[in-house]
Amino acid sequence: MFELTHLRCFVVLAEELHFGKAADRLHMTQSPLSRQIQVLERVLGVELFHRTSRRVTLTLAGETFLHEARRIVRLSESAALAARRVWKGEAGRISIGFTAVSGYMLLPRIVKRAAVALPGIELQLHELVSGDQSEALHTGLIDLALVRPPVNRVQFDSAPLLLEKLLVALPEDDPRAEQESFEPRDFDDKDLVMYAQRGAGYFNQLLSGLFDRAGAAPNYVQFVTQIHSLLGLVGASLAPGIVPESAAGLSPRGVVFRPLRTEPALPVELYLAWRRECENPALPAFRELCLQAVAGDA
């Protein structure tokens, strides 16, 4: 078969229609050019040029081949450029995993920034429940995860992304809905929708610790794994619940939000996590952009 060298020689000769000039442009002498063309013609079984030792012209077959040869040469150049851009992280695709609540608040801001700062990067968003995130990260389905602690520090690298306040979510018909703000001990021996230990371990531990330190023991009327479910129950007037600040952005019906005074004031953590051997070259720049997107709007 022929090679790209042959095509490059052919294209230039077809443009110059003069072996000497074409050879100059190709930084070679006439003789090897002549042979390159001969080889190409022999391999194809086609006369590409009409040569009369005085004038060189394309045959019809040569004209159609020129068309294709140009495309191939151009493609080979652009393919190299594209590969280099992906390799250098200027282009490519990044898959991001997020849980509903963490994503709804942050991702629009991140996506908007990325479109401006990293125009060659295509973002793929995967909404995943917390438990699935680390597996998705491990198998390579996603390159980056927005997760609650703890992050498995053996498999993954991570960076704190955001700290949030906690809010009390109350049914709007709850008598305490008038109250300005709350503190943990307000829920001692009071009904509360709580997070399950399995499936919502982070919020379960966070709130348990909070109530323990305050010497409060709420009456857990229901355990849920997702903030969505909790807000549904609150909206149905079952009982109040505690949610991260970003959940207020969901504006659920029949629910009002009030501050919960805690120590520290911003106890809810959100982390970025990624595989230690980060083989996606676009990832470092994108992680940086995530951190800036959060900081820039804080």
Partner DNA sequence: TTTCCTTACGCCTATCGTAAGCATA
Partner DNA sequence: TATGCTTACGATAGGCGTAAGGAAA
What would the two tokens of residue 252 be? 């659920």
In the structure encoding, which two tokens stand for residue 269, read together? 């953590």
Count, in order, helices (H) and strands (E) of the chain: 9, 12
Question: Would you give the end-to-end CA distance of the chain in angstroms?
Answer: 61
Give min distance, CB of 97 to a copy of itself, in A: 17
Tokens, residue 273: 């996590």
User: Scanning residues 87 to 146, which ones bind a copy of itself (CB under 8 A)?
Assistant: 87, 91-93
CB 261 within 8 A of CB 185: no
Quick check: 48 and 41 in contact, CB under 8 A?
A: yes
What does DSSP say about strands 92-98 and 121-127: parallel, antiparallel, or unpaired? parallel
Among 7, 10, 14, 36, binds DNA (CB under 7 A): 36
Binding mask 20-59 for a copy of itself (x = CB under 8 A): -----------------------xxxxxx-x--------x
From the list DNA, a copy of itself, none, pick the one residue 261 interacts with, judged by a Cβ distance below 5 to 8 Å according to partner type.
none
The entry of DNA, a copy of itself, none that residue 35 binds, CB within 5 to 8 Å by partner kind: DNA
DSSP code of residue 248: G
> Does residue number 279 form part of the binding site for DNA (CB under 7 A)?
no
3-state SS of 164-220 is ECEEEEEECCCHHHHCCCECHHHHCCCEEEEECCCCCHHHHHHHHHHHHHCCCCCEE
Counting contacts by CB under 7 A, is residue 12 touching DNA?
no
What, of a copy of itself, DNA, none, does residue 171 touch, CB below 5 to 8 Å by kind? none
Minimal distance in Å, beta carbon 107 to a copy of itself?
22
Rounded to the nearest whole angstrom, what is the least distance from the CB of residue 194 to a copy of itself in the complex?
42
| CA 116/CA 97 separation, integer angstroms | 21
Closest of 244, 232, 236 to residue 130, by C-alpha: 244
Residue 86 touching a copy of itself (CB under 8 A)? yes
Binding of DNA at residue 30 (CB under 7 A)? yes
- Joined tokens for residue 240: 């109040």
Which one among 27, 53, 54, 60 touches a copy of itself, defined by CB under 8 A? 60
For position 18 contacting DNA by CB under 7 A, the verdict is yes
**Which member of 12, 44, 56, 117 binds DNA (CB under 7 A)?**
56
**In Å, what is the CA distance from 273 to each residue of 93, 146, 202, 277, 290?**
17, 7, 15, 12, 12
Give the nearer residue to a copy of itself in terms of CB position, either 75 or 111. Answer: 75
Residue 145: CB minimum distance to DNA, A: 24
Determine the residue type at 155.
Answer: Q
* 46 vs 159 by CB, closer to a copy of itself: 46
84, 153, 213, 261: residue in contact with a copy of itself (rule CB under 8 A): 84
Determine if 29 is a binding residue for DNA (CB under 7 A).
yes
Structure tokens at 254: 């029949």
Q: Which residues of the chain form contacts with a copy of itself (CB under 8 A)?
A: 1-5, 7, 43-48, 50, 59-62, 64-65, 68-69, 71-72, 75-76, 78-80, 82-84, 86-87, 91-93, 279-282
Please give the residue ranges that form the binding site for DNA (CB under 7 A): 3, 5, 18-20, 27-39, 51-56
